[in-house]
Amino acid sequence: MAQRRLRMGMIGGGPGAFIGPVHRLAAEMDREIELVAGAFSSDPARASAAGEAYRIDPARAYPSLDAMFAAERARADGIDFISIVSPNHHHLPAARAALAAGVAVMSDKPLTGTLAEAHELAGLVRDAALPFGVSYTYSGYPLVREARARVLAGALGAVRKVVVEYPQGWLAGEAVGKQAEWRVDPARAGLGGCIGDIGVHAFHLAEFISGLAVTELFADLGSVVPGRVLDDDCSILLRFENGARGVLLASQIEVGELNGLRIRIYGERGGLVWRQETPNTLVQHSLDGRSEIINAGGMLIGADAAARTRTPPGHPEGYLEAFANLYRDFAALLRGEPAPLLPGIDAGVRGMTFIATAVAASRDHTGWVKL
Amino acid sequence: MAQRRLRMGMIGGGPGAFIGPVHRLAAEMDREIELVAGAFSSDPARASAAGEAYRIDPARAYPSLDAMFAAERARADGIDFISIVSPNHHHLPAARAALAAGVAVMSDKPLTGTLAEAHELAGLVRDAALPFGVSYTYSGYPLVREARARVLAGALGAVRKVVVEYPQGWLAGEAVGKQAEWRVDPARAGLGGCIGDIGVHAFHLAEFISGLAVTELFADLGSVVPGRVLDDDCSILLRFENGARGVLLASQIEVGELNGLRIRIYGERGGLVWRQETPNTLVQHSLDGRSEIINAGGMLIGADAAARTRTPPGHPEGYLEAFANLYRDFAALLRGEPAPLLPGIDAGVRGMTFIATAVAASRDHTGWVKL
Amino acid sequence: MAQRRLRMGMIGGGPGAFIGPVHRLAAEMDREIELVAGAFSSDPARASAAGEAYRIDPARAYPSLDAMFAAERARADGIDFISIVSPNHHHLPAARAALAAGVAVMSDKPLTGTLAEAHELAGLVRDAALPFGVSYTYSGYPLVREARARVLAGALGAVRKVVVEYPQGWLAGEAVGKQAEWRVDPARAGLGGCIGDIGVHAFHLAEFISGLAVTELFADLGSVVPGRVLDDDCSILLRFENGARGVLLASQIEVGELNGLRIRIYGERGGLVWRQETPNTLVQHSLDGRSEIINAGGMLIGADAAARTRTPPGHPEGYLEAFANLYRDFAALLRGEPAPLLPGIDAGVRGMTFIATAVAASRDHTGWVKL
Amino acid sequence: MAQRRLRMGMIGGGPGAFIGPVHRLAAEMDREIELVAGAFSSDPARASAAGEAYRIDPARAYPSLDAMFAAERARADGIDFISIVSPNHHHLPAARAALAAGVAVMSDKPLTGTLAEAHELAGLVRDAALPFGVSYTYSGYPLVREARARVLAGALGAVRKVVVEYPQGWLAGEAVGKQAEWRVDPARAGLGGCIGDIGVHAFHLAEFISGLAVTELFADLGSVVPGRVLDDDCSILLRFENGARGVLLASQIEVGELNGLRIRIYGERGGLVWRQETPNTLVQHSLDGRSEIINAGGMLIGADAAARTRTPPGHPEGYLEAFANLYRDFAALLRGEPAPLLPGIDAGVRGMTFIATAVAASRDHTGWVKL
């Protein structure tokens, strides 16, 4: 497996999908991985149409998980791993089938529909001892990794405060269209709405960059749009293991906000500010009044982040490249190399724990709760 | 009083003061007001030095409140009002003396050191029936007024969400210097640290622009810097009278943040975003995907906001001009004209109620409380 | 004169004026100067109305220059200087009368209507040996002074390139209104349109910050709006005395541009970037990949620039404060103190030479010309 | 060819190359194209190493053009086209060989090393009647296409002014490293330095968005860094066919500038502003004071630009995606579909004409010249 392109099968990602094509593109960007098969849809016609759109061998566009694993196992050039890009309630069954077939898994987030499913999956992953990744996309950005490296190297001193926000506005009106509909439906999205779709990204980012675990939270989740069952607006206060204070805001009803994930982290001696929509600059503040603009791919970047840009500074890279960085890590794992920054099953369970804890705490008005 | 310049006496604002010279400059900017007297310091030498620095008649640089009111009452050209710019615990005594002398009052915020003082002052103002203003500076910005006008005119539909933040970093280290020292001392600052110094500005702004009262809050106040007694980092969740959700963040320990007050307000059909550090643009988002940049002084500005800029668009106006707008309003009040947007005693008491409620709720862990 | 407020008379600035009230406000901002008299208009009724609007003694709102100088000379508290804020063709007569009366002069830019007038005025100033200032406003910004200080201290190494732009859009349509009309009329504006109104500001800024004289230029001036006689769009290439290359762009027809003066200056080892519309930050780049954000009023500011801000960093100051900094310099001059950064008669003549040279070179297609 | 992936061979792009890997990535992004072969280097060992790095069949990493065309012609699955990514002086020989072999060509810019070569190549392309593309990358950005569509639809009225700038700073010091060295060497770069490397991009963008041909120019090219033979700093004034005025600035010595291509275009009724480093927003100004932010992928985008984003608004796309859009166009051409926005041989010749004209005019001081 060392040098050849790794072979990926996709679960979900049929016609009209958003995240499936993104996974395909990201996985293949560095030519380490190739999409060769898929169970894109349980509807055979749609499965077949997707196979054609992805330009794969029609014979490998399967109508079901079982068909895929059976047929791929029989091939000399069968898939090395699957990417799970279907709605949340499908994550566990797909991962279970893959692991049973001895196939590694890269899963979209959140890990599963419920926390119980997450724990079940963690057991399966542990038993299977196969590579497992979760696509907390934003942790793939070079400057997010640079921020983490700087914080862990002590550039800010002890961390005191983290503010992470993820504002969106696309669900401020009625949820119309395939992407919107399943996200507001508890049967498909699971127990979280906004918190599961984007809040969990913000949560992962806060722990990822700070290098600190959240130990307590106070959650105030709301369903703002009339008739909405799941949360669409979340305000969550945090405490980190070292006593640092935090705030996590996520919303889908802030009209005009696109995908405004941003994080600010402050320590005794400095601060770091990063925004996903302008991801190629990071600002570092110091207690002595100095504020620096750090450019992705620039001269001031550490080795790990530098290795995660593909062009010189000033050539903007974005969401797809960040996503591709996770797949590059995952490919390394598959080849037996270390990929310590790739979110794995623990980060997946952690996200589900966060979602479940916050949803319950908000619903039951239990105030501050342990995480 | 109709046409002549109004005569101002200043309480506080002696050598080394920050906000005193700002009040002086703002009050005089439009030539409607003139600083003519002051009780700048209880130390006669410092009072005298301040009078010289302000270039007023040395005879009118008084060593005490009593001396000032006695002497000024005896003059044909005595003061029309005082500006109170001393630390918080001095606000009530100064205002009480002025009102007793029949002199109107413009006071720095927060209104007083404690809520009880605020209520006492409210009674005095009611009885005296004299003009009274409170310098919630940021409500004087033209685009803040434009934002309020747009919200009240229904541009966003019903308000659903308000996020107001006021990050600073200047107290992240030890509190050094005159300005820092009194702000972290309960004896002089009163019951709030960060919340009283800047949180109350954010609170006023949220109610001012939304036109909605906050009815409940959950407060999480912290004293982050070792040894600090008062709060220096505040996270407060809000509910407004119409059910809208809100978040108010204020901090003095976010290294590198200068005076980063900013507010976002979202309704059913749109959103507005404004930042104090770049105060001459306002962004309005609409549900149909339109995002507009609105320039201070530009063609799209309503009458009230237009009347509060002094130069054409593109000529940046800032903090001092916003402050001067409050004094222009106050001058109108003194001349018997309406000034409905000038924060008065009610807004002052409201701010103190907010501070007292949040401080108590956070200290006593009482969860969500009524405001 | 050492400690009292200096007394200013204004020439021009009657009803409907833009720059007159700006001069008044700027002059008085620091309480070093007071407007006490004016020849605001040659129409006595308008002169009188202006006096009332400025709230000065009605007796000192004169109907003519002669009346003003005669009356003021007779007073013990007569004016110390005049500010000339009338259209360009009035500058010379007003200055001549003042200097003849032994009164110092602060003049709006450009210095005069023609270069010949400028030379005549220079002779008068030399002979009178009285303080004379020219309001190249933008040189009053604290961060412009900081930029100059850094360049002169060698922070960039030898300067290699200057790009200064001054885009506006307000004259893209027909010139309507008092402010527009005189600026497009050669009889009142003089020989330059856009170049005289704003190009000369850009030119001064380039020489001011770089500390280098322009020695050659290539001018391409156009009259874009149909029927316009004077230039409304200017592209000028520059050479500086040390061989550095430069570009100066100014326009009044770039729709949507407000007052977008900006300058970038590059040397062997670094670069500096400043924009007037967000004047409180300056970015400095270094050859080693470092880019710093420098905040007005912040810890990294040198003494001179620090002395030209009035509030802590994060409290935006703007156009009026920059303008006031020139008056603070001028007040220092009047009191016999040095004010080396205040543009004086030489800078005024220099600007007129630039205008005349560029207009002629463009009209006559003479290519590169000496300056 | 209709549905299968198109097969690409690469010329150049060996170890240490910048633009080769970019072409590979961009070409494959949408799964319409696959890199299958290459003549990556004339050094067999390096050619072979490159083949391994790209993970292609080792047998198809050829040591020469001739070897490649001979072998590929013999295969049923031979290449459909080549990408030329070698230094400029190699462009013509490579394209000549491909066209002679009946293979389509996608070439990096500038088209060739000299104008004579460009004309020769144009003849070859005409005779071969094969698809030919030139990678003026920035024309692939969705918002560049949106800008063009809006201008051509008359959103600005008649175009009056275009300002296009392309500042870089990476060659402000000595030219060190493979990428720098060939660009400053006339033998490999051809007749232009900065103008050929980046100026030609700016030129193409100006004509592309405006829909207007430049008919005259005045060029001022300089070699600023001591010892540099080719230009590294370019200031060029333009006239367009309709009389519109223009400015084109490009530089490689502006320290701290990364890849700051930006363009502003103004007409009678509006203006458009776009910056490559923040490519996902476009600002449109209107004469009525309205300024709108247009988001890539957002609701206000026309069909063509919408079809050139791959993610929802707020998910930043950048340089690689823009590049991939050119390859998507080129794939369409190969499949026999129209791709009117893909720069072809005419745009390539046009760029070389621009370079040659500007270089000669600047060198010979001929003033304004026809283009």
Indicate whether C219 and C357 sit together in one domain.
Answer: yes
Cβ A256–B269 below 8 Å, yes or no?
A: no
Q: What's residue A78's pLDDT?
A: 97
Q: What's residue D354's pLDDT?
A: 98
Q: What's residue B130's pLDDT?
A: 97
Quote the minimal CA–CA distance from A108 to chain D in Å. 16
Task: Report the SS3 class of residue D26.
Answer: helix
Residues 48-77 of D with CB under 8 A from A: 52, 54-55
Q: Quick one: average pLDDT of C67-93?
A: 96
Cβ D299–B283 below 8 Å, yes or no?
A: no
- Partners of residue D299 in chain B, C-beta under 8 Å: 288-289
Indicate whether A220 and A278 sit together in one domain.
Answer: yes
- Nearest CB partner across the interface for A287, out of B255, B264, B273: B255
B82 phi and psi angles, rounded to 5 deg? -115, 155
Cβ D320–A321 below 8 Å, yes or no?
A: yes
Quote the minimal CA–CA distance from B288 to chain A in Å. 9
Indicate whether A237 and A296 sit together in one domain.
Answer: yes
Assess if residue B312 is contained within a domain: yes
The residues near B55 (Cβ < 8 Å, ≥ 6 apart) are: C3, C4, C5, C31, C32
Residue ending a domain, among D79, D105, D137, is D137
* Number of C–D residue contacts, CB under 8 Å: 110
Q: Quick one: average pLDDT of C241-259?
A: 98
Is the distance from CB of A214 to CB of A130 less than 8 angstroms? no
Q: CA-nearest residue of chain B to A283? A: B256
Assess if residue C83 is contained within a domain: yes
Cβ C257–D285 below 8 Å, yes or no?
A: yes
- Partners of residue B290 in chain D, C-beta under 8 Å: 292, 300
Q: Quick one: average pLDDT of D313-323?
A: 98
- Nearest CB partner across the interface for B310, out of C25, C258, C315: C25
Quote the minimal CA–CA distance from B365 to chain C in Å. 34
Q: What's residue D47's pLDDT?
A: 95
**CATH number of the domain that D47 lies in?**
3.40.50.720
Indicate whether C151 and C298 sit together in one domain.
Answer: yes
B175 alpha carbon, distance to own chain's centre = 22
- Nearest CB partner across the interface for B251, out of A161, A254, A257: A161
Cβ C292–A290 below 8 Å, yes or no?
A: yes
- Partners of residue A298 in chain C, C-beta under 8 Å: 289
* Cα A84 to Cα A91: distance, rounded to the nearest angstrom: 6
Could you tell me the pLDDT band of residue B341, with boundaries at 50, 70 and 90? very high
Q: What's residue B182's pLDDT?
A: 85
Indicate whether B192 and B131 sit together in one domain.
Answer: no
Above 90 in pLDDT, residue A191? no
Mutation for B interface: D291, D292, D300, most B CBs within 10 A: D291
Quote the minimal CA–CA distance from B144 to chain D in Å. 19
- Partners of residue C268 in chain D, C-beta under 8 Å: 172
Above 90 in pLDDT, residue B187? no
Mutation for C interface: D151, D156, D161, D166, most C CBs within 10 A: D161
Indicate whether A147 and A172 sit together in one domain.
Answer: yes
Which segments of B108-244 are extended strands (E)?
132-134, 159-167, 214-222, 233-240
Determine contact: B157 vs chain A, CB below 8 A: no
ipTM value of the model? Answer: 0.96
- Nearest CB partner across the interface for D293, out of B293, B295, B299: B293
Indicate whether B234 and B274 sit together in one domain.
Answer: yes
The pairing of strands C81-84 and C6-11 is parallel
Indicate whether C84 and C164 sit together in one domain.
Answer: no
Q: CA-nearest residue of chain D to C244? A: D224
- Partners of residue C257 in chain D, C-beta under 8 Å: 271, 285
- Partners of residue D300 in chain B, C-beta under 8 Å: 289-290
Could you tell me the pLDDT band of residue D38, with boundaries at 50, 70 and 90? very high
Determine contact: B2 vs chain D, CB below 8 A: no
Assess if residue D297 is contained within a domain: yes
Cβ C276–B24 below 8 Å, yes or no?
A: no
Q: What is the CA radius of gyration of chain A?
A: 20
Quote the minimal CA–CA distance from D265 to chain B in Å. 18
A75 alpha carbon, distance to own chain's centre = 31
Indicate whether B127 and B274 sit together in one domain.
Answer: no
Determine contact: B16 vs chain C, CB below 8 A: no
Determine contact: C292 vs chain A, CB below 8 A: yes
Q: What's residue A2's pLDDT?
A: 64
Cβ B255–A156 below 8 Å, yes or no?
A: yes
Above 80 in pLDDT, residue D2? no
Determine contact: C312 vs chain B, CB below 8 A: yes
The number of domains in chain A is 2
D97 is in which domain, residue-wise? 6-137
Place of tokens 């202006």: C50
Q: Give per-residue burial for C47-77: e unless 16+ CB within 10 Å, then b.
A: bbbbbebbebeeebbbbebeebbebbeeeee
Q: CA-nearest residue of chain B to C294? A: B256
From B168-172, B295-299, C154-158, D185-189, the region with the lowest mean pLDDT:
D185-189
Cβ B269–A255 below 8 Å, yes or no?
A: yes
Q: What's residue D122's pLDDT?
A: 98
pLDDT digits (tens, 9 = 90+) for C285-318: 999 999 999 999 999 999 999 999 999 999 999 9
Above 80 in pLDDT, residue B2? no
Helix axes D91-100, D65-73, angle to 10 degrees: 20
Above 90 in pLDDT, residue C13? yes
Assess if residue B180 is contained within a domain: yes
Query: How many residues in total does chain A contain?
Result: 371
Burial of A53 (0-12, 13-18, 19+ CB in 10 A): middle
Supply the DSSP symbol for A210: H
Indicate whether D307 and D290 sit together in one domain.
Answer: yes
- Partners of residue B273 in chain D, C-beta under 8 Å: none
Q: Quick one: average pLDDT of B30-48?
A: 96
Cβ D3–A55 below 8 Å, yes or no?
A: yes
- Partners of residue A4 in chain D, C-beta under 8 Å: 55
Q: CA-nearest residue of chain B to D289? A: B299
* Cα C194 to Cα C183: distance, rounded to the nearest angstrom: 8
Give, in order, the Cα–Cα distances in Å from C295 to each of B170, B262, C139, C272, D235.
14, 18, 17, 13, 31
Cβ D298–B288 below 8 Å, yes or no?
A: no
Cβ B287–A245 below 8 Å, yes or no?
A: no
- Partners of residue B25 in chain C, C-beta under 8 Å: 29-31, 310
Q: Give per-residue burial for A222-256: e unless 16+ CB within 10 Å, then b.
A: bbbbeebebbbbbbbbbbbeeebbbbbbbbbbbbb
Above 70 in pLDDT, residue C1? no
Indicate whether B48 and B194 sit together in one domain.
Answer: no
- Partners of residue C245 in chain D, C-beta under 8 Å: 220, 222, 224, 233, 235
Above 80 in pLDDT, residue B320? yes
High-pLDDT (> 90) share of chain B, %: 92
Indicate whether D108 and D144 sit together in one domain.
Answer: no
From B22-26, B299-303, D186-190, the region with the lowest mean pLDDT:
D186-190
Quote the minimal CA–CA distance from D195 to chain C in Å. 16
From A167-181, A283-297, A338-352, D82-96, the region with the lowest mean pLDDT:
A167-181
- Nearest CB partner across the interface for C279, out of B54, B316, B320: B316
Assess if residue A338 is contained within a domain: no
**CATH number of the domain that C236 lies in?**
3.30.360.10
Above 70 in pLDDT, residue A196? yes
pLDDT digits (tens, 9 = 90+) for C88-108: 999 999 999 999 999 999 999
- Partners of residue B289 in chain D, C-beta under 8 Å: 295, 298-300
pLDDT digits (tens, 9 = 90+) for B238-247: 999 999 999 9
- Nearest CB partner across the interface for D289, out of B288, B289, B300: B300
Assess if residue B325 is contained within a domain: no
Q: Which of C94, C90, C70 is nearest to C82 (CA)?
A: C94
Could you tell me the pLDDT band of residue D253, with boundaries at 50, 70 and 90? very high
* Cα C29 to Cα C6: distance, rounded to the nearest angstrom: 12
- Partners of residue D291 in chain B, C-beta under 8 Å: 292-295
Place of tokens 């924060």: B343
Query: How many residues in total does chain D contain?
Result: 371
Residue ending a domain, among C84, C112, C137, is C137
Cβ C289–A283 below 8 Å, yes or no?
A: no
Q: What's residue B40's pLDDT?
A: 97
Residue ending a domain, among B96, B116, B137, is B137
pLDDT digits (tens, 9 = 90+) for A65-123: 999 999 999 999 999 999 999 989 999 999 999 999 999 999 999 999 999 999 999 99
- Provide the CB-side half-sphere exposure for B63 (13 A, CA): 3
Assess if residue A181 is contained within a domain: yes
Assess if residue D370 is contained within a domain: no
Cβ D249–C367 below 8 Å, yes or no?
A: no
- Nearest CB partner across the interface for A288, out of C289, C294, C299: C299
Q: What's residue B65's pLDDT?
A: 95
- Partners of residue C173 in chain D, C-beta under 8 Å: 287
Quote the minimal CA–CA distance from D151 to chain C in Å. 14
Determine contact: C336 vs chain A, CB below 8 A: no
Above 90 in pLDDT, residue B368? yes
